[in-house]
Structure 1
Amino acid sequence: MAKDYAKTFYKGTAWKKCRAAYFSYRHGLCERCQGPGKIVHHKKYITHENINDPEITLSFHNLELLCQDCHNREHHERNSPTVEGLYFNEYGDVVQRR
């Protein structure tokens, strides 16, 4: 979900046109797994400080089309203390996902 300071940006015409153009440019395919793309992701995250910088918000160089799973991995597993495929069990041991 977008931060409060970014909600207006994501509802704006400039972003909607940029997103549609980028989606088409990438033929609707996730750039990581080649599955059906869903989310146009900002590689350098939008912040309160850079929200008005079109080189960050609207540049194809900062965009990546991702499927829902790859986007979730980017945002949720990126901050994980383990590498992908590993996790801590209830005893605190590092184990491999099955």
Structure 2
Amino acid sequence: MLQHTEIAKKFYKSKAWRLCRESYIPTVYGLCEHCEEPGYILDHIEEININNIIDPNITLNHDNLQFLCTSCHNKKTFGSTEVTRDDVMFDSNGNLIPKK
């Protein structure tokens, strides 16, 4: 998993990523592709890293994306089935933020 370096932050704030995200989520009706609950995080199946972040075939390819709910994303990414705290959540960039 690519840590939230300046390169990663720049990518996730890019117009290309925003457009890719906006075009992908409607194709799965906004539902988690694993459990069909409402999705939250657009995830790279082949995780991006410092070596492939400039490769649009990895970063912007719909075939390498999946829309996941927080629980399914955490299970895939961190090996945990549930969020262990209910007062925080991840934003669309993967940053931990207080739950509203």
Residue in structure 2 matched with residue 24 of structure 1 by the alignment: 26
* Residue in structure 2 matched with residue 56 of structure 1 by the alignment: 58
Partner SS, residue 15 of structure 1: helix
Aligned to 1:90: none
1:40-94 Cα deviation digits (max 9, x unpaired): 000000100001100000000100000011001011117xxxxx7xxxxxxxxxx
Q: How many residues align structurally? A: 79
Larger radius of gyration: 1
Q: Secondary structure at the match of 1:40?
A: strand
* Runs of 4+ residues deviating >6 angstroms: none
Which residue number in structure 1 is paired with residue 43 of structure 2?
A: 41
TM-score normalised by the chain length of structure 1: 0.75
3-state DSSP class of the match of 1:25? helix
TM-score by length of 2: 0.74
Identity of aligned residues (%): 43
The root-mean-square deviation of aligned C-alpha atoms, in Å, is 1.7
Gaps of 5+ in 1: 79-83, 85-98
